[in-house]
Each structure stands twice: as structure tokens, then as C-alpha cells.
Structure 1
């Protein structure tokens, strides 16, 4: 998932060519949220164009991921009472003490065609040793799969590896470390060529970790000069090299695949959540805490080294193609479709910029009754989709001009903070209560 709490959380790469029946990580191929699907209905409700739906016990804001006909997701079940999450941005959601009830950490595999449970596995049971914000969950990290194994992370418990039939292959324990205000963890692991990378930015001992994906053996661990962040790293395969980009509030840092720093960029907001991605030969990075003046979007060129931070009032330099100092969203990641960069703001506004130059296509436009957004937007079939916390999806024309086409409402008891997945001709929307599969019934 790469979703976190609202108070706070390639076209140039080979991975974008993955078959669209596979949505193997947070935001899918290239971490971009762009799908080639054309047969998925763009209208739905809690009953209309629903191929199937299944209630999911517990709470988890991780996104579903898909490989062929396997759907993987995580959840944590509180055997006691879970406090109801209030929607929107607000103060007062901190819960610094861990809950005192027994919780069960679960991995679930569903059948993509029917929604039936293929298998479910409990990986841990006990009282939580870390706290979370009232809106967050202990299952906010999205799994990742390579088609042979699925890797599921629970930031205060461990990383767990299963084969596709549900056999546990290995586990790597994670020490519960304090996060800012007790908000908990959310950054998801990423895969590249047999290595699993995980970034744990916290208030005690932040680090970037590489594990052997087959065995779980620790390959290296690099300490990070960061405090708490909630951003999933990104493997950037550009024309010059492959690098691991880790957003942070102190600095964005890029590492080689052995954990050695290549470049850094200072000038982020005080809370960093959004996932980077690449398109049109550029890397897009954002950090937009709503309480800060500095809420930048950066478009980075390949080949940087050292400190590439902007000086004084500059908006470009040798490696920053363009930047916008006050344009970034808070929780959602941005979205590039063709040469358009769409920005979905937490409080129900949308803007669009030229992804190659940073020029404005349209300034912030309000989505009527949009209210609160945490999940990231997605694009398919010439449309942009924005799911809010009330379970309403706003469907926009994928265009240089703002045009709201219609809205889709799920059940009234649904809360939407998880970013959806698109697999073949199916759209998977996870809410606080269930998972919907949008598409034609077979």
C-alpha cells in the first residue's frame, strides 16, 4: 500500500512492458499507476459492474497486487475493539501507546476470477509493540511479487516470503522502531533482479536494507541520516544506470545497487510520503506536507552525482529539468499520462502540468464534494480516476483541460485509502471493509 494516514501518508523501464494481467507492486508497472486496459467499465457502484466482492476481516491499507489469477493482500485483525477512523485531515489522531489487545497479522490470496480464498496464512499473533495513527493500520505496506514468490512486509514485525501456493519460504524479523508521533510504518518493499529492497525511516535508527529474494539472506544494510518517512523507494532503470531512489524529508538520496550513495537532493517538505516514478526520461519526486510552504515537485535527469540541490531561488540546474516549489500533494503520488502530470490534492483539488517542462495546463480545480483523498490516482482508457475516503471515484477526461465526466459511489460504510490495482480486464478496489472486483461477470 502505499497509503498512509491522512493527518500526516516507465515508459523508460523494462518493467512497464509487463503483461497487464500482472500488477506486481504498489501502483503497478514502473510504480506509475497507468494501465493499458480498455475493457474495464468506467462506471460502477456497490452492485453495478461488480464481478465479485469479498469482505476482508481486520484493517489494512496495503494495496492488492496480482500475478496471473492470484490476488495478494495483507490485513491485521484486532481481537479487541478497533477505534473507528475519522476521515479527512485533522489534528488529534495520534495514539502514542500500542493497543493492549491481541492482533493477528495475515496474508490472504484470492482468486482473481471468482474472489474465492485460495489460501490465508497467519504470520504473527500478539500485542502490537508499536503504535499507529488512528486512521492508519498495521498492514499499510503493499506486497510485491515476482511470479514465483510473494513478499509481504509488516514494518514492526517482519518481511515474510511465500510461494504462490502459500508455503512460507523464509521470514526476516524487523525490530519495532519508534516513528514520529507514533504514526507507524507504511513504506513498501521493492524488487529488482533477485534482490528485495526495504527502506525503514524512523526516529531512532533509519536504514536501507537489501535481502536475497530467494533465501531472505541479508546482503547489505546502509544507515540513513533520516527520521520518519513513509515513502516507498523506486528502482530507476534509466539509459545510464540502475539506481535506487529513496525519498526523505531531510533529503532524497539515490544509491547504487550495492547501497552506496550516488546523489542527494535537499529541499523537501517536513513529511514525505509519495512514491517516485519515471516517465519521458525523467524521474518525478514530490513532497507536500500541507502545513509547509515548501511543497515541491522535481523532475530529475539521469546521471546525477553529489549534491544536486537547487541554490537560492533557482528552479532548474544541470540535473533538475524543472521544479515547482509549491505544487506537490501530501498523501497521493502524482500521475503522468503521456505528457501530462496530474496532481491530486488531499482536500479535493486537481491540477495538471506539462510533464516535460513543468508548464501549467490547468490550475487547481475543485472536485465537487470531493473532501478527503489519500489513495493515489490511476489512468486507463483515456481517463483519470481519483478515489476519495468516502469511497467515491471521480472520473476525469485525460486531457490538457479539466473535465469531470462522472462519479462512482461504493457502499456508504466503505472508506477508501488504499490505492487500487488493475489486472487484465479487472479493477480491484480495496476499502476498509472489503475488496471489489470491477469488470464483467464471467
Structure 2
């Protein structure tokens, strides 16, 4: 069977079970000559500047609504062109997200005014070049990645033309640079979001043809370093964490959790865990890193700053990422079961079946956890180890894949309304109604 399948791959006759492999050319920071530098703090308010806010989903302790409907506590709502799982980011007076249309086939970035929801600009990143439908999961889109911004650059990553392209736009939507970082053999599409470290933007591209991590100079798009990750398809975004005072870039997938020096891409440690494919992004309490998944195996793990296992269990939280308040670790499984574990030792404090199915990742604000299911129900419950305590359950639209952003007094939700060919997407700004009389 193996010889037959291999021959079919060579002859180009097989469409399932084989893929084109492309050797990954590694680049060191010494070879590139790129200087990794601290960048002066932006004068722009980086309220929620990248995937999960860059804080693992922890919002500032500002008060935002816990109840809403389509008609109440809605400051504004705006049309979103096409479809995407790209979550909104909040930078200065802009809300920015990625999307994609089928007719015409375009991958694009859209910016909205934070105060009013008015569309400020729309930039087409790619026309044509979409992967075949059989190589993209039925739940996925052509715009899964959430953007990252340092206040000057808005950076996004797309699978297009069987390569991963990283693109930077300016605050007015103008193209600043675009870089092809490598080939990508798609099994179910591309998902990871970029993260920013000092003057680098870092992008993951695990795939069955030869995966890699890349650090690019955010000012020019030049590749500073690239590290091979093996030929396995996985979907997690890297996370920047500070463990015992040391900056580390941590990512799961390929049956391990791996830590890299974010400035150089050099491997610090790796620990066998979880599974071949993972989707969630790791979270940290400053001493430990937590992650869960995956496919085909199931495991939730706690790893210390040097890569040693602290505790584990057999629970699988695959698509949604975990979240921690520093003392407790919370997870909502794809099948709608919420868990609370002790972060230090893994003791299960409670679990509760919420019902429904989940892809969106939770956020914590003012002692409450916010998370939406795939039917558009937004659950708000206490971030407490004592018991599961539902604060509210709010319906908005018919589905929700993207994760919310929280900034100031508002929550920003991307939701789907309707179904089939009639389905459209909206961006909602949820904020308490003003008490001022006109």
C-alpha cells in the first residue's frame, strides 16, 4: 500500500494522502544582518493590538456590559464584506479586521471608525490565488488570521498561491510592504495570527509540505530569521510570554510544545505533549505555560519555564484557546463543556456543560469570562474557582467564529447573520447606553 501510494504521488495521480514537500531554507539572524531593536512606545492607543489582545485574552479592568441584544447596549453595528474568522483589533481610533470575498475572489483588510462604526478604508491584499476548496476545512475561510499592529504598521498573513504572504499596511490602508515567506501545502487551510516582538513580526506556518517560523523586520518586511518546524499540518498561533523574567516564543503542534528565542528563532526547549495538530494558542501565568488539544490525541498540559511537565489531564480543548487569571485556568471545549482547574496543580474545581459548539476563544474582563458559541449565544460567567455562576446569556446573530476584542467601555464582536447564500457578517460595538438625556 505504501509503495503504491508513493508511486501515485510521484505520478501526480493521488489527491488524498500525499502532499508536495518543499525544503525549508533556514536563515539565522547573523546571516540576515537584521537588527532587532526596541521600538519607542507608540503614541497611538494600542488598546487591543493583536490576537487575544496580546495579553492572552485579559482585558483592562474596565467595566463593559454583561447583557445586550441586537437592539439594546449596541452603540453601533457595521457591515463586514465577505467572510472571515479574523478577530477585530483596536488601535487608536480604528477597529481593523481581515475578510475575504468569493466574487470577486479577494482577500482584504477593512478599518472602521472606533466611535461611529463608519468604514474608514478597505484595502485588497490579494486577488485570485485562493487554495482549492478541497484543501480548506469546511468551517474555515480565506481570512482566518487576526492582524497585529504596533500603531504604525497593520500586519496580516494569508495563504495565497500556495505560499504564505505577510503584508503590512499603514494607518490609512496604504501598502507598506509584502513578503513571500515560504511555500505552504494546505491540508485544511491557514490559521495562525502574527505577533509583534520589538522590531520583529513573527509568523508561524506549520504545514505538511514543510513548516517554519519566520521573524520579519516590521519596518521593511525583510526576513530576519527562519526556522524549520517539520512537515506536519498544525494550526496554532505562536505566543509571546515572559517566563521567570525571560522572553520566550511558545507554540504547540507536531506532538510537542516548543519555546524559541523571539529575537533569533533559536530553540530554547521543547517538550513532547498534546498531539500532532493543535489549534489553540498557549497562555501563561508568568511562571507556567498552559495548552490543550488536539488531533488525534487529547491532552491539557502545564509546562514550566524550562520545559518540564508540571501537570496534565486527558481533556481536549481543541479550537478555542484556554485562558488564565493567574490562579485558575479556564477552558471551554469545542463541544460546550466549561472547566476550571487550579493553575498550580491542575486540580479540577468544577465543570459545567453549557451546550452548543464553540470555536471562539474566551476573554476575561472585570472578573467575568465572555465566550460565544457557534449559534451566536454569548455566555458571560464568573471567573471564579468556587462554582460555575452564569451572569447572562446573550443572543447576537446566528453564528460567531471570531473572538471578541475589549477596549475602553466596549466589546467588539464579529458575527454572522442568516444562513446559506443569505448569510452576511456584521461588526457590533457593545457598550452601555448613555444615561445623558438629549
Same fold by TM (over 0.5)?
A: yes
Residue of structure 2 in register with 1:92 after alignment: none
Is residue 354–residue 361 contact of structure 1 (8 Å, CA) maintained in 2? yes
The answer to whether structure 1 residue 406 and structure 2 residue 392 are counterparts is yes
Q: Deviations over 1:240-262 (max 9, x none)?
A: 42221121133222112312211
Residue of structure 1 in register with 2:92 after alignment: 68
Shift of 1:194: 0.4
Residue of structure 2 in register with 1:332 after alignment: 320
Q: Deviations over 1:183-223 (max 9, x none)?
A: 10001111100001111011102111111010000112111
- Any stretches of 5+ residues in structure 2 without a counterpart? 1-42, 417-424
Is residue 234–residue 276 contact of structure 2 (8 Å, CA) maintained in 1? no
Residue of structure 1 in register with 2:367 after alignment: 382
The answer to whether structure 1 residue 295 and structure 2 residue 298 are counterparts is yes
Q: 1:354 aligns with which of 332, 339, 342?
A: 342
The answer to whether structure 1 residue 28 and structure 2 residue 20 are counterparts is no
Structure with greater contact order relative to length (CA < 8 Å, sep ≥ 6): 1
- Partner-residue secondary structure (3-state), 1:28: helix
C-alpha spacing 1:240/1:37, structure 2 compared with 1 (3 Å): closer
RMSD, matched Cα:
1.9
Q: Deviations over 1:338-396 (max 9, x none)?
A: 4111110111111111112211111x3111xx311000111112211220011101121
Is residue 181–residue 214 contact of structure 2 (8 Å, CA) maintained in 1? no
- Any stretches of 5+ residues in structure 1 without a counterpart? 1-17, 80-101, 309-318
Normalised TM-score (structure 1): 0.81
Q: Deviations over 1:55-101 (max 9, x none)?
A: 1111110111111211110101110xxxxxxxxxxxxxxxxxxxxxx
Equivalenced residue count is 377
Shift of 1:26: 0.7
C-alpha spacing 1:384/1:19, structure 2 compared with 1 (3 Å): farther
C-alpha spacing 1:215/1:21, structure 2 compared with 1 (3 Å): closer
C-alpha spacing 1:128/1:64, structure 2 compared with 1 (3 Å): same
The answer to whether structure 1 residue 323 and structure 2 residue 327 are counterparts is no
Is residue 63–residue 365 contact of structure 2 (8 Å, CA) maintained in 1? no
Residue of structure 2 in register with 1:424 after alignment: 408
C-alpha spacing 1:19/1:274, structure 2 compared with 1 (3 Å): farther
Residue of structure 1 in register with 2:3 after alignment: none
Normalised TM-score (structure 2): 0.82
Of the structure 1 ranges 124-133 and 272-281, higher mean CA displacement relative to structure 2 is found in 124-133
Shift of 1:179: 2.3
Is residue 351–residue 365 contact of structure 1 (8 Å, CA) maintained in 2? yes
Residue of structure 2 in register with 1:219 after alignment: 224
